[in-house]
Amino acid sequence: MQGFYGVIEGCDGTGKSTIIKGVKKKLQDKYSNGSIKESEGMKTARRYSVESYYQPGCTELGHKLRKLIKYSGVPIEEFTRQMLYMADASQFIHEKLSNIDDRIVLCDRATHISSIVYSYVDKVPIENIVKLFNIVKSPRINRLYIIVSDSKRCYERANKRSFFDKLINGSDHFDNMKLDFYNEITSAYQHIHTLSPEISKLLNKIIGIKDIIYINNDGNPNDAIDTIFNDIVSVLDSQS
């Protein structure tokens, strides 16, 4: 496979969106018009389409499901919520990931990863998540970048942003969560590969442990952007 599928994950408020925008811009500058690479004395032009998406909600179906889940006011049980998000993931995989040759696909969250973390914190039985993984198969992820930031800072950022969302759309499931919830989510992300043997098995279906990279974003976001950009370039170079 001559392409790249990368996922950027982390607690709300870690700065994922800003990082993805920065990484995408640098990748477009390098690859959209073709990149010259020295290979065994030959110069070879390489061109990639650079795309970014977010989950859940970037498909037409996902947009409607996200509005239903977040803003309809309909009470939704935790596992039911994960099933709805996984339906969006199925559509996303069909529409966006059927073939990534000559494409660099960056995704702000992947439902298969988020479902592990949020279900773990919401105490959804792991056997239910295993069922979802068996129904909706995820393609292999080249890299999972987990953005790490101070949980109190994430809480403050997320609540500041959600204040304006509440004015327009109303509250959603996560808007009223307290700092303890952000502490738990942050911890679950930081220890995702050791949360339980069952979770490790699920992760191994879609990504190797060595391909999970933790990026601290408590400093200058440009540092995180450069780290991820350089890593993606090295992965693509290794494919040649």
pLDDT digits (tens, 9 = 90+) for 93-126: 999 998 999 999 999 999 999 999 999 998 999 9
Length of the chain: 240
Mean residue pLDDT of the chain comes to: 88
Q: DSSP letter at 79?
A: H
Identify the band that residue 42 occupies on the pLDDT scale cut at 50, 70 and 90: very low
Domain of residue 94, CATH code: 3.40.50.300
Helix (H, G, I), strand (E, B) or coil at 37: strand
Domain count, the chain: 1
Q: Is the pLDDT of residue 15 over 60?
A: yes
219: number of Cβ within 10 Å: 9
Least confident of 15-29, 84-98, 127-141, 157-171: 157-171
Name the E strands within the chain. Answer: 4-9, 35-39, 42-46, 49-54, 103-108, 143-148, 212-216
CA 109 to CA 138: how far, in whole Å? 13
Which tokens sit at 77?
Answer: 């049980």
Residue 168 CA, distance from chain mean position: 25
The pLDDT, as a whole number, for residue 164 is 57
Give residue 210's identity as a one-letter amino acid code: K
Residue 231: give the domain boundaries: 4-239
The pLDDT, as a whole number, for residue 231 is 97
Which tokens sit at 104?
Answer: 């660099």
Q: Encode pLDDT of 126-152 as tens digits.
A: 999 999 999 999 999 999 999 999 999
Q: DSSP letter at 66?
A: H
Q: Encode pLDDT of 176-212 as tens digits.
A: 778 999 999 999 999 999 999 999 999 999 999 999 9
Q: What percentage of the chain reaches a pLDDT higher than 70?
A: 88
Cα–Cα nearest to 226, from 145, 108, 105, 110: 145
Which tokens sit at 50?
Answer: 């650079």
